[in-house]
C-alpha cells in the first residue's frame, strides 16, 4: 500500500475536527508536536490502495508568528513531508476563511479545498460556482458535508490525484501591480542564496514585509541578509508613503482584495443579507439582559440531567462492586491482601470508578453544548461580565471555560494569548473552575446531605468558582498584573446539530483519561493511604492510632476553624493534592464496606461532617491547590516553579478564607 501524509487545515469551527473524526474514527491518538507543547491529533485509515496518516493541524486564522499554534501549522506545511493539505472551509463565511487559504497558497502548499457547511451557505442564498472558483485558485474544490460524510469519496479521490501531481499554488495569486513589482524585486534578491529557497521566495518576501520575527532572523543569517533587509526597509518606507499604512497592513489589504475579487467572480449572493437562524437565536442567547439568566438555567438543567440519570447508574455500579467484594475477599487467605483488595481496591479505586456514569454524562453534555455552538456563547457572555468587572478580555476566559473539563489542557490553551501578563493571570484563575475531577466529591456529599437538591448544589459550586475567580482577578489586576488586557474578537460559530459520532469520540477521549487516572494516580494514592492505615501492625484499620490517623490528627486543627477539623477530612485533603478524585478514594478506603449493606463512604461522611461543614469542605476542595498534574503543566508552560508556587499560595489562602466565611457566617445564620 502507498502511504499518504495529509494535513487538515482551517479556521476554528469550520468542521475540521468532525472531518478528522469521521475519517479516522477510533484509530487516532493525541500527543505533542515534536519539540512543542501544542497537542497534535493524528489518525490513520485506509482507502483503496492508500494508507493515510492524517494530521489535524491547530485551528488558525493566519500563519503568522503570533502564537505557537500558527507556527506549528506553517512549519508542518513548510518542513514536514506532507503530500497534500486539505483546507476545510465554511462555505457561508468565505471571506474570513479564505485568508488562511491565501497564506497557504503563498507557501505553495499542494492543496485541496473542502467546502463544508454548504447548506448554511444556501440558506443565506450564497451560490458558489465551484468550477470557476477552482479554476481561479488553481486547485480542486470539493463540496462535502462533514456530519453525513457526503463528498468524502470524491475528496479522497482528489487527494490521491493531487498527491501524484503536485502544483504551485502561488502562481495564481494577484496582489496588484505596485505590490507585485516590489515583491518580484525582493524575490530576485532572496533567490541569490540557495539556503533561503527551502520555501517559496514569494512567501519569504511577504513575511519580511510583515515583520515576521522568525523569518527575519533566518534571513539575517544569510550571506546577503543585510542587502535583503536594506531592500525591505526601502520598500516598507515606499509603501507607507503611497498607502499611508505600514507594510503589514498593505499585505493584509492585498490578500483581502484578492479574496474579494475571487468571491465577486465566483459567488452569487444577495446585496442585503437576511438574518440567519444563528443571528435570530443570538438576539436571545447573547442579549445583554437575558444572556446570564439563560446561561444559569442551561447549566442548572445540565446538572439536573447529570445527577437524575447518573446517580441511579452510579448506585448500580456501587452495588456491583460491593457484590464482587463480598464474593472475592472471603476467598483470599492472606488477611493483608484481603484487606487491601476490600478497602483499597473496592473501597478506594472502585469507589471512584463508580462515578463513571456521572463523569460520562457531564462530558457528554459539555460536548453537545460545544459542538452545537452554545459554549462559545457562554464564553462570550461571561467575557462581557469579566470585562466590565475586572477589565479582563476574551482570550483569558476561553481557557477558563476549558477548565470545567480539566485544568491541564486549560493551562495549555493559554498559549494562544500573545500578552504574557494576561496569560499568567489566566493560569492563576483556571484552578477556580470546577473540573470534572471534583464531581465525585460533590456527588458523595450531595448524596449524603442534599439528595433532593443535587443539581442546585452542583450549580452553586460552579458559580462559586466563577465568582471567586472574578474577585481574585480583580485583586490580581490591581496588584501583580496591572493594566488592561488587549481586546480581541471572539468568534461565535454557526449553530448546528452536533454529530453523534463526534460527540461520542470527544466524550470517550475525556472518559478514557478519567479511567487512566483511576488506574494510575488514584491507585497509587490508595495504596499509600492503605499502607498508612494498617501500620503500626496491631492497631484497628484506619483508626486514629494508625500512621494515617496520626498524620491526620497532627494537621486537623488547621481545618477546625473552617468546619472539618477531623483527621479523616485532613488526610483526604492532603490526598487531593495528587488528584482531586483521590479525596473520594481516601474516604472510601477509610470507610470501607459496611456490614449492614450501607455504603461505607456515606456512613463515614455522616460521622465526620454536618451539612454546613460538608458544604464548606466542598468549597475548599473546589478552590484549594490544584492537582500535581496541573502544577507540573504550569511549570512546563512558564519554565519555572515560581508561578506554580504563587498559584498554590493564592489558591490555598483563597480556599481557606472562603470556607471560613461559609462555615462561620452559616453558623451565625443558624445552619447546622
**Are the CB atoms for 408 and 629 separated by under 8 Å?**
yes
Contacts made by residues 372-375, CB under 8 angstroms, sequence distance 24+ = 372/495, 372/496, 372/497, 372/498, 373/13, 373/278, 373/492, 373/493, 373/494, 373/495, 373/496, 374/285, 374/298, 374/495, 375/401
Return the number of other C-beta atoms located less than 10 Å from residue 60's C-beta.
Answer: 22
- In DSSP notation, 118-169 reads HHHHHHTT-EE-HHHHHHHHTS-EEE-BTTTTBTHHHHHHHHHHHHHS---G
Q: How confident is the model at residue 663 (pLDDT cuts 50, 70, 90)?
A: very high
Per residue in 585-617, pLDDT (tens digit) is: 778 767 654 434 346 677 888 888 999 999 999
The set of residues, in sequence order, having a beta carbon less than 8 Å from that of 323 and lying 6+ positions away, is none
Strands 50-56 and 2-9: parallel
Q: What is the pLDDT, as a whole number, of residue 114? A: 95
> 124-133, 208-217, 368-377, 483-492: which range is least confident on average?
483-492
Once rounded to an integer, what is the mean pLDDT over residues 266-284? 80
- Domains of the chain (ranges, CATH numbers): 2-171 (3.40.50.300), 177-268 (1.10.287.1770), 291-668 (no CATH)
Cell of 37: 507543547
Residue 287 has what pLDDT?
A: 84
> Can you give the pLDDT at residue 35?
45
Q: Is 45 helix (H, G, I), strand (E, B) or coil?
A: strand
- SS3 of 537-590: the string is CCCCCCCCCCHHHHHHHHHHHHHHHHCCCCHHHHHHHHHCCCCCHHHHHHHHHH
Q: The C-alpha cell of 553 is what? A: 490528627
Least confident of 146-160, 359-373, 391-405, 569-583: 391-405
Q: Are 452 and 429 in contact (CB under 8 A)?
A: no
How far is 634 from 129, CA to CA, in rounded Å? 49
* Whole-angstrom distance, CA of residue 250 vs CA of residue 241: 11
Kindly report the backbone phi and psi dihedral angles of residue 6, in degrees, each rounded to the nearest multiple of 5, phi listed first: -125, 130
Chain segment 221-240, per-residue pLDDT in tens:
888 888 889 889 998 888 88
Mean pLDDT of the chain: 81
Q: What pLDDT score does 36 carry?
A: 45
Over pLDDT 70: what percentage of the chain? 87
Pairing of strands 2-9, 84-90: parallel
Mean pLDDT lowest among 71-75, 148-152, 205-209, 217-221:
71-75
- 426-455: per-residue pLDDT in tens? 888 888 988 878 888 898 899 889 888 888
DSSP string, 505-521: HHHHHHHHHHHHHHHTH
**Who contacts 520 (Cβ-Cβ below 8 Å, separation ≥6)?**
none
Q: Under a CB-based contact definition with an 8 Å cutoff, are residues 52 and 28 in contact? A: no
DSSP three-state, residue 311: helix
pLDDT of 38: 58
Please say whether the beta carbons of 594 and 404 come within 8 A: no
What does the alpha-carbon distance between residue 310 and residue 425 come to, in Å, rounded to a whole number?
35
The C-alpha cell 440558506 sits at: 123
- Structural Rg of the chain based on CA atoms: 29
The number of CA neighbours under 13 Å toward the Cβ of 540 is 7
Which three cell numbers mark 206? 511577504
Q: Which three cell numbers stand for residue 596?
A: 449492614
For position 37, what pLDDT does the model report?
45
Q: What pLDDT is stored for residue 301 in this prediction?
A: 86
64's CB contacts (< 8 A; 6+ apart) are: 70, 210, 212
The CA distance from 235 to 292, in Å, is 51
Per residue in 47-91, pLDDT (tens digit) is: 989 999 998 888 888 777 566 777 777 778 776 678 999 999 999
Say which range, 126-130, 376-380, 475-479, 644-648, has the weakest mean pLDDT. 376-380
pLDDT of amino acid 45: 92
Query: Is pLDDT larger for residue 288 or for residue 268?
Result: 268
267 burial class (0-12, 13-18, 19+ CB within 10 angstroms)?
middle
Residue 406, pLDDT score: 75
Residue 638 pLDDT level (bands cut at 50, 70, 90): confident
Out of 11-20, 61-70, 372-381, which region has the weakest mean confidence (pLDDT)?
61-70
Distance separating alpha carbons of residues 526 and 589, to the nearest angstrom: 7
Place 635 in a pLDDT band, splitting at 50, 70 and 90: confident
Of 2, 23, 5, residue with least CA distance to 114: 23
For residues 368-396, give the mean pLDDT: 71
Task: Decide if pLDDT at 651 tops 90.
Answer: yes
Higher pLDDT, 185 or 154: 154
Q: What is the DSSP string of 48-91?
A: TTEEEEEEEPPP-S--SSSSHHHHHHHHHHHHS--SEEEEEEEG
**How confident is the model at residue 312, as a pLDDT?**
85
- Tell me the C-alpha to C-alpha distance, in Å, between residue 612 and each of 149, 317, 427: 53, 28, 30
Instruction: Give the up-direction half-sphere exposure of residue 427: CA atoms within 13 A in the CB hemisphere.
Output: 30
Question: Which grid coordinates belong to 646?
Answer: 504563587
Placement of cell 481557606 in the chain: 656
Strand partners, 112: 86
What mean pLDDT comes out for the span 104-132? 88
Confidence at residue 544, expressed as pLDDT on a 0 to 100 scale = 74
77-81, 367-371, 502-506: lowest mean pLDDT where? 77-81
- Is the pLDDT at 415 greater than 70, yes or no? no
pLDDT, position 11: 87
141 strand-pairing partners: 113
Angle at the Cα of 288 from the Cα atoms of 287 and 294, rounded to 5 degrees: 60
Return the pLDDT at 561.
Answer: 93
Q: In this structure, what C-alpha cell is assigned to residue 6?
A: 495529509
Rounded Cα distance between 506 and 364, Å, is 8
Amino acid at each position: 500500500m502507498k502511504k499518504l501524509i495529509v494535513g487538515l487545515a482551517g479556521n476554528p469551527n469550520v468542521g475540521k475536527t468532525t472531518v478528522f473524526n469521521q475519517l479516522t474514527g477510533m484509530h487516532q491518538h493525541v500527543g505533542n508536536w515534536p519539540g512543542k507543547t501544542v497537542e497534535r491529533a493524528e489518525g490513520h485509515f485506509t482507502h483503496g490502495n492508500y494508507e493515510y496518516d492524517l494530521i489535524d493541524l491547530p485551528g488558525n486564522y493566519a500563519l503568522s508568528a503570533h502564537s505557537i499554534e500558527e507556527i506549528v501549522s506553517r512549519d508542518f506545511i513548510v518542513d514536514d513531508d506532507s503530500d497534500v493539505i486539505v483546507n476545510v472551509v465554511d462555505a457561508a463565511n468565505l471571506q474570513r476563511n479564505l485568508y488562511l487559504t491565501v497564506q497557504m497558497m503563498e507557501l505553495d502548499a499542494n492543496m485541496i479545498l473542502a467546502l463544508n457547511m454548504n447548506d448554511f451557505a444556501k440558506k443565506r442564498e450564497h451560490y458558489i460556482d465551484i468550477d470557476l472558483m477552482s479554476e481561479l485558485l488553481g486547485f480542486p474544490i470539493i463540496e462535502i458535508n462533514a456530519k453525513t460524510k457526503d463528498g468524502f469519496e470524491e475528496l479522497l479521490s482528489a487527494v490521491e490525484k493531487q498527491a501524484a501531481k503536485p502544483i504551485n499554488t502561488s502562481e495564481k495569486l494577484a496582489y496588484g501591480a505596485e505590490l507585485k513589482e516590489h515583491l518580484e524585486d525582493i524575490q530576485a534578491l532572496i533567490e541569490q542564496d540557495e539556503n533561503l529557497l527551502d520555501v517559496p521566495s514569494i512567501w519569504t518576501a511577504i513575511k519580511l514585509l510583515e515583520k515576521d520575527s522568525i523569518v527575519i532572523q533566518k534571513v539575517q543569517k544569510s550571506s546577503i541578509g543585510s542587502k535583503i533587509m536594506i531592500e525591505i526597509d526601502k520598500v516598507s518606507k515606499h509603501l507607507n508613503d503611497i498607502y499611508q499604512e505600514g507594510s503589514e497592513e498593505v499585505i493584509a489589504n492585498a490578500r483581502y482584495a484578492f479574496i474579494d475579487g475571487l468571491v465577486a467572480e465566483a459567488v452569487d449572493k444577495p446585496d442585503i443579507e437576511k438574518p440567519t437562524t444563528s443571528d435570530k437565536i443570538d438576539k436571545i442567547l447573547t442579549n445583554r439582559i437575558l444572556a446570564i439568566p439563560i446561561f444559569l438555567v442551561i447549566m442548572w438543567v445540565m446538572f439536573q440531567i447529570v445527577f437524575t440519570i447518573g446517580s441511579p447508574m452510579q448506585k448500580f455500579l456501587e452495588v456491583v462492586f460491593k457484590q464482587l467484594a463480598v464474593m472475592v475477599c472471603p476467598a483470599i487467605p492472606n488477611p493483608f491482601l484481603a484487606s487491601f483488595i476490600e478497602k483499597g481496591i473496592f473501597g478506594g479505586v472502585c469507589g471512584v470508578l463508580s462515578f463513571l456514569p456521572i463523569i460520562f454524562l457531564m462530558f457528554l453534555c459539555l460536548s453537545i453544548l460545544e459542538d452545537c455552538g452554545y459554549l462559545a456563547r457562554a464564553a462570550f457572555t461571561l467575557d462581557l461580565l469579566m470585562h466590565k468587572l475586572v477589565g479582563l478580555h476574551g482570550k483569558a476566559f476561553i481557557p477558563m471555560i476549558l477548565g470545567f473539563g480539566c485544568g491541564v489542557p486549560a493551562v495549555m490553551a493559554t498559549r494562544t494569548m500573545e500578552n504574557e501578563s494576561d496569560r499568567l493571570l489566566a493560569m492563576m484563575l483556571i484552578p477556580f473552575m470546577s473540573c470534572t475531577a471534583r464531581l465525585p466529591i460533590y456527588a458523595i456529599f450531595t448524596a449524603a446531605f442534599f439528595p433532593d437538591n443535587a443539581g442546585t448544589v452542583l450549580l452553586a459550586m460552579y458559580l462559586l468558582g466563577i465568582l471567586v475567580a472574578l474577585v481574585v482577578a480583580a485583586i490580581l489586576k490591581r496588584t501583580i498584573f496591572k493594566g488592561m488586557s488587549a481586546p480581541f474578537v471572539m468568534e461565535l460559530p454557526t449553530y448546528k446539530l452536533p454529530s453523534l459520532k463526534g460527540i461520542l469520540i470527544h466524550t470517550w477521549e475525556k472518559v478514557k483519561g478519567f479511567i487512566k487516572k483511576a488506574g494510575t494516580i488514584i491507585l497509587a494514592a490508595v495504596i499509600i493511604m492503605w499502607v498508612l492505615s494498617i501500620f503500626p501492625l496491631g492497631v484497628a484499620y484506619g483508626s486514629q492510632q494508625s500512621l494515617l490517623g496520626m498524620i491526620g490528627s497532627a494537621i486537623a486543627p488547621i481545618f477546625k476553624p473552617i468546619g472539618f477539623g477531623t483527621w479523616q477530612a485532613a488526610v483526604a485533603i492532603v490526598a487531593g493534592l495528587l488528584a482531586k478524585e483521590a479525596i473520594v478514594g481516601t474516604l472510601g478506603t477509610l470507610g470501607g464496606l459496611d456490614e449492614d449493606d450501607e455504603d461505607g463512604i456515606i456512613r463515614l461522611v455522616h460521622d465526620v461532617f454536618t451539612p454546613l461543614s460538608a458544604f464548606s469542605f466542598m468549597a475548599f476542595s473546589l478552590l484549594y491547590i490544584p492537582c500535581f498534574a496541573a502544577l507540573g503543566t504550569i511549570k512546563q508552560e512558564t519554565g519555572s516553579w515560581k508561578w506554580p508556587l504563587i498559584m498554590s499560595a493564592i489558591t490555598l489562602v483563597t480556599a481557606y478564607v472562603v470556607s471560613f466565611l461559609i462555615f462561620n457566617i452559616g453558623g451565625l445564620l443558624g445552619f447546622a
